[in-house]
Structure 1
Amino acid sequence: MKTTLTKTGKPRKVQQRRLEREKLIKDAAIELLKVTDIHELSLYDVAEKAEIPPSSLYHIYPSVDELLAGLTEQSGDIIYELMKSIAINGTFNSWRELLRLWFDAIQHHHNHCSYTSKLLLGVSGSHVLAETKAARFSSGRQRSFELLNDLFELPAMPEKVDVFNIARLIGNQIFSFSFRLEGEITDLHKEEAYLAVIGYLQNYFPRYMPRKVMPQEDEVAN
């Protein structure tokens, strides 16, 4: 009988079992992060929560840092998909209105998924996690630009100023400040973050930007 291989060269059933185990481990870690701090998370506790042998967990995630890095990537992807869904299905007439919807949705997600805030807004506990967060931040900047570029006729941006990166940094810093101070993103700090980002982007965006013809879902920043 011929064995079907994946792109990684592993038998498909083996790869599927690994993916299922990864999800089991991540789900267990998320449940623990809802009630504990990142610095207190241990692989042994995760294995116990997932009801799998610690050796099986170590095979996939040799360290807590690598597990947290995987969860950080997953959290960033969830927020991007949320933004993408709003870009496709939301009701807005301007880039300001779109950003308002994004800020509202991101606040709601963070405040109802506390582990996401711990991973993305909390203090990085290690070099590995800090590098992962930096990479996700850069990726988020690019994908935000692509979403806006799919929807609006963006003006030319200055070559020596990374406008979108700075805008994301402004909003993220205020969100992080709110989370560390209040344990959540408050309405006040969400509004401050929104106004700060809008105020900065107004230096480069006109008050009105023409909308492009709305692409289909599979065409938006695909």
Structure 2
Amino acid sequence: MTEAVSKQRKVSRKTQARSLERRSTILTVARELLEENAINELSLYQVAEKAGMPPSSVYHFFPKVDAILEALLEDIFSDFEVILDQPLDESAIHHWTDIMRQLQVRYVSYYRQHKYVRDLILGQYTPGSLLHADYQHDDVLGCRIRKCHEAYYQLPPLPAGFNIFAIALQIADKVYSISHQEHGNITDVMAREGGNAALAYLGEYLPRLLINPDIREDRLLTHRSINNTTWSA
């Protein structure tokens, strides 16, 4: 490798690192602005001013506000995946509904911590393209949540034409959305109601009793008793 080529590669790496840093700064600033303002108030000039860079630099990475919102949404989806990757508390799983309740507690906590996330996912002024992306990602999460259930229980045959776990997520989000729009966040009451609504829907396809193949025969009667008494849909 010649010295000229080596220098050129070093310059290229520095340029790429600087570009990634600027892009990250833009998204960080956008999050901060959305924590204080509504989605429809965000502008490229506003982001540029707060980031301390010329508008042309922001425009280079994100030619319109929707492009910033799409990038933020992708980051949110990554956070959703990380939340789902966290191990479940197996000692608290006595019924299939316990799996969904544990996951919903996590997602509600995440929503509550970030106004911009609630605005993007639950807000009434979210652009249609972002809503479509959210629905698509719900399907991805739904497939993973189904696998979470299959790791503990033998599921019955489920509809092939749609993902019941994805729809359950969307049902819960609809209830959370009502709370966000009325109260600015997800209240304890609406967090519970969102979970109940999702579980009531899933209860149309999952029976009260699902067998865990790893449970020993001498514990099966106790397990059945717990299953029958904790179901409230």
Shorter-chain TM-score above 0.5: yes
Q: In structure 2, what is the equivalent of residue 188 of structure 1?
A: 189
AA aligned opposite 2:108: Q
Whole-angstrom distance in 1 between the partners of 2:160 and 2:174? 24
**1:160, CA displacement in angstroms?**
3.3
Rate the CA distance shift 1:17–1:149 in 2: closer, same or farther, 3 A.
Answer: farther
Write out aligned runs for 1:9-158 (5 A): 12-87=13-88, 91-93=91-93, 94-158=95-159
Rate the CA distance shift 1:69–1:91 in 2: closer, same or farther, 3 A.
Answer: farther
Whole-angstrom distance in 1 between the partners of 2:109 and 2:64? 31
Structure 1 residues without counterparts, runs of 5 or longer = 4-10, 213-222
**1:41, CA displacement in angstroms?**
0.5
Are positions 1:202 and 2:203 aligned together?
yes
Whole-angstrom distance in 1 between the partners of 2:142 and 2:64? 28
Deviations 1:134-165 (A, max 9, x none): 33333333333344344544332122343122
AA aligned opposite 2:56: S
Whole-angstrom distance in 2 between the partners of 1:105 and 1:144? 13
Rate the CA distance shift 1:14–1:119 in 2: closer, same or farther, 3 A.
Answer: same
Compare 159-168 and 186-195 and name the one that shifted more: 159-168
Deviations 1:31-68 (A, max 9, x none): 11111000000111112222222211111111000100
**1:117, CA displacement in angstroms?**
0.3
SS in 1 for 2:36: coil
RMSD value, Cα: 2.5
Rate the CA distance shift 1:38–1:188 in 2: closer, same or farther, 3 A.
Answer: same
AA aligned opposite 1:72: L
AA aligned opposite 2:163: D
Compare 97-106 and 61-70 and name the one that shifted more: 97-106
TM-score by length of 2: 0.77
AA aligned opposite 2:212: P
Are positions 1:164 and 2:165 aligned together?
yes
Answer yes or no: is the 8 Å Cα contact 1:66–1:128 preserved in 2.
Answer: no
**1:180, CA displacement in angstroms?**
0.9
Answer yes or no: is the 8 Å Cα contact 2:155–2:210 preserved in 1.
Answer: no
Whole-angstrom distance in 2 between the partners of 1:22 and 1:152? 44
AA aligned opposite 2:73: T
- Look at both structures and tell me which one has the larger radius of gyration over its CA atoms: 2
Which gives a bigger RCO, structure 1 or 2 (Cα 8 Å, sep 6+)? Answer: 1
AA aligned opposite 1:210: N
Whole-angstrom distance in 2 between the partners of 1:43 and 1:148? 43
SS in 1 for 2:177: helix
Deviations 1:164-197 (A, max 9, x none): 2221221111111111111111111111111111
**1:86, CA displacement in angstroms?**
4.1
Deviations 1:18-43 (A, max 9, x none): 33222211111111111100000011
Answer yes or no: is the 8 Å Cα contact 1:124–1:130 preserved in 2.
Answer: no
Deviations 1:120-139 (A, max 9, x none): 11024434333333333333
Whole-angstrom distance in 1 between the partners of 2:152 and 2:84? 13
AA aligned opposite 2:210: Y
Whole-angstrom distance in 1 between the partners of 2:160 and 2:137? 22
